[in-house]
Structure 1
């Protein structure tokens, strides 16, 4: 089974971003991080992928929007995150 494509849009000094990355790190998952602190094309990309995004982090697994840090933690508590990550 191939590794999942995990992407996370973050900003500097974002506690929720750090929490989400820590959970992914604990699971040993590789991810692509896009820092949108100063805006730019990655911020526009994030908004194209999830027009309702108003906060960071915004997390995608295999191009499926997961949401933010709380959403990621909820999936983990429900036992659904490992399946999404192929663990």
Structure 2
């Protein structure tokens, strides 16, 4: 299968869902690029939009452009039992860009708006977390405070740690015991 497509395949999922993993694995086996939208990462408004578009509360929910495939069971059935319809959907997504009624990939700035936050508030929260020592700057200009810049930061919990006394403790020669 060719991975060149003009359209868009979207998989709405949640972390740890075995049905979502199976659907994504099948798409990868078919070498079809897709956009995963993990509903855990977005505001409840995105979940509501998915419910409205699909009429379902389950995941995954798979779209080929504006066409709802459904969940993993429907997707697997489509591939194995209705190959001609699947080929038609593939042709549609290969040759046509998504229409305006196709699901859109959520915009992070829209999410900030949905959560009653703005860039200034996000910066304030970042400064607070930086001051409390939750993360540090790993690439960019090390400054004394958190700023709105292109610095790359990392949470300390994602750092490799080791005991303080592991490795070389001192370069000094030990003195003889008298």
TM-score interval (norm. to shorter): 0.7 to 0.9
1:72 deviates by: 0.4
Match of 1:27 among 20, 27, 30: 30
SS at structure 2 position matched to 1:23: helix
Q: What is residue 83 of structure 1 aligned with on the other side?
A: 88
Query: What pairs up with 1:1-87 in 2 under 5 angstroms?
Result: 3=5, 4-37=7-40, 40=43, 41-50=45-54, 52-78=55-81, 79=83, 80-86=85-91
Q: Is the 8 A contact 1:7 1:31 kept in 2?
A: yes
**TM-score between the two structures when normalised by the length of structure 2:** 0.44
Number of equivalent positions = 85
1:82 deviates by: 3.5
Where relative contact order (Cα < 8 A, 6+ residues apart) is larger, the structure is 1
* Higher strand proportion (structure 1 or 2): 1
CA RMSD of aligned residues (A): 1.9
**TM-score between the two structures when normalised by the length of structure 1:** 0.84
Q: Which moved more, 1:29-38 or 1:53-62?
A: 29-38
Deviation >2 Å, runs of 4+:
80-83
Gaps of 5+ in 1: none
